[in-house]
Amino acid sequence: MKKNKVDKNWQYAHANDYYVKKSKIDGYRSRAAYKLIEIDDKFSFFNNAKNAVDLGAFPGGWSQVINNKYEHIDLFAVDLKELIDIPRVNFIKCNLISDYEDNFIILKNFLPTNLDIVLSDMAPNTNGNKTSDHLLSMELCEIALEVVSAFLNEGGKFACKIFIGGEESDFVIKMKKIFKKVCFFKPKSSKNSSREIYLIGLDKINII
């Protein structure tokens, strides 16, 4: 009964969430769309960009934002669950955390090697254990950073969701070797109770 009560409380809070309601009015598939809009407003993310990849794209909120606001951007989307009915999306069905090496080869056959933007809203299937959820989140971040290293242009930009938990400091050090500017960003549309935050990498360095 206690679990059912928690589930009902979550469902009620979710249904009455401002950004959930707004997403339905605006036609976005998830409240996450507003997180990308805020990232773009803060960091002018899509200025002069010609292409981008959306890692962990399902259900498609971020891809919708790019498709709706930036018709000039050639958009690639990656997820295990397929996106449907979003125009102009080059989609690949791929589970990056399972059989990673084989799936990375798939990406090499799919993605251009001159991306201007890498976006990762990937999140693990959480189990309520903050430590394990955090470590799984950091594993996904490491995968996203490998995509950055393999495909992102010099001067390119990177946004990556993480769950704060103590191990992110080493990841930030790695990012600072790749980008001229690295910062944390918590969108207003991200729930205050959530441990999620975004790491932003600006102006990728040409590493010889």
Per residue in 164-198, pLDDT (tens digit) is 888 889 999 999 999 999 999 999 999 888 889 99
Residue 12 lies in a domain: no
Entry pTM: 0.90
Residue 126 lies in a domain: yes
Residue 197 lies in a domain: yes
CATH of the domain at 88: 3.40.50.150
Residue 60 gets which letter from DSSP?
-
Residue 96 gets which letter from DSSP?
T
In angstroms, the Cα distances linking 1 to 5, 7, 14, 63, 188 are 6, 10, 20, 38, 33
Residue 21 lies in a domain: no
- Which residue numbers are catalytic? 161
Tens of pLDDT, residues 71-125 = 889 999 999 899 888 989 999 998 887 777 788 888 999 999 999 999 999 988 7
Residue 194 lies in a domain: yes
Containing structural domain, residue 198: 29-204
Q: Count of domains in the chain?
A: 1
Q: What is the bridge-based pairing of β-strands 179-185 and 152-163?
A: unpaired
